[in-house]
Structure 1
């Protein structure tokens, strides 16, 4: 199936809801079993399990996190999903707000097979530290 803009928006909204609802399994479930995810050019995550573990870590660090959908673009089996993350860091108590985006390749079942994502990691760390 090739998603239209409305379908792509629903996929992204459901993904944001999984993050906001503290559901790492639902976050990981958006991805194909052997998906690859790379954030900020870092080491790739190569499975739903690794992606779920990453999500669980963020959720533990930000128990009140909210992930909002900013924009979706779609072309054939590819979509760009822009988001804004907001919450209070559990250890520092600092309010953190940062935006980013992911480029998703989708399979015929609309699961993500590859995700390349970016956000300003330096700004994220600065906000967590409160500097």
Structure 2
């Protein structure tokens, strides 16, 4: 199936809701079984398990996180979805830093015929993210 703009928007909204509802299994479930995700040109995450672990880590560090959809673009089996992440940072073992963090980014998704993500390339300003977490 090739998604239209409304379907792509629904997919992205559901993905944002999974993040906001702190449901790492639902985040991972958006991806195909043998998927790959690369953020900011870093090491690839492979498979739903690694993506679910990454999502759970962010959810632990930002228990009040909200992921909002900014926009979507779609062409054939490819879509771009832009988002904004917002929340208060907690360091490990629930030691609150209290630092408010807000940053935006986007992901390019390749979709299979079931509209699951087979490949995700994403970007956000990592330097700004680290600065906000540190409260600088």
- Taking structure 2 as the reference length, what is the TM-score of the superposition? 0.92
Contact 2:24 2:55 in 1 (8 A): yes
For structure 1, list consecutive stretches of 5 or more residues without a partner in the other structure.
Answer: none
Asked whether the 8 Å contact 2:61–2:91 carries over to 1, the reply is no
Query: How many angstroms does 1:89 deviate by?
Result: 9.4
CA deviation map 1:52-101 (0-9, x unaligned): 00000000000000000000000000000000099999631100000000
Query: Higher strand share goes to which structure?
Result: 2
Aligned CA distance change for structure 1 residues 75 and 19 (closer, same or farther; 3 Å) = same
Change beyond 3 A, Cα 1:62–1:90:
farther
- Structure 2 equivalent of residue 98 of structure 1: 103
Distance in 1, Cα, partners of 2:64 & 2:131: 19
CA distance 1:70–1:119, change in 2 (3 Å): same
- Specify whether residues 89 and 17 from structure 1 end up closer, same or farther in structure 2 by C-alpha distance, changes over 3 A only: farther
CA distance change for structure 1 residues 129 and 47 in 2, over 3 Å: closer, same or farther? same
Contact 1:86–1:95 at 8 Å: present in 2 too? no
Task: Give the TM-score normalised by the residue count of structure 1.
Answer: 0.95
- How many residues align? The count is 131
Q: How far apart, CA to CA, are the structure 1 residues paired with 2:19 and 2:121?
A: 18
Gaps of 5+ in 2: 85-89
Between stretches 85-94 and 50-59, larger displacement belongs to: 85-94
Q: Secondary structure at the match of 1:64?
A: coil
Alpha-carbon RMSD across the aligned residues, in angstroms, is 2.8
Q: Does 1:64 align with 2:69?
A: no
Instruction: Say which SS state the counterpart of residue 15 (structure 2) adopts.
Output: helix
In structure 1, C-alpha distance between the alignment counterparts of 2:83 and 2:6, rounded to whole Å: 17
| Secondary structure of the corresponding residue to residue 80 of structure 1 | strand
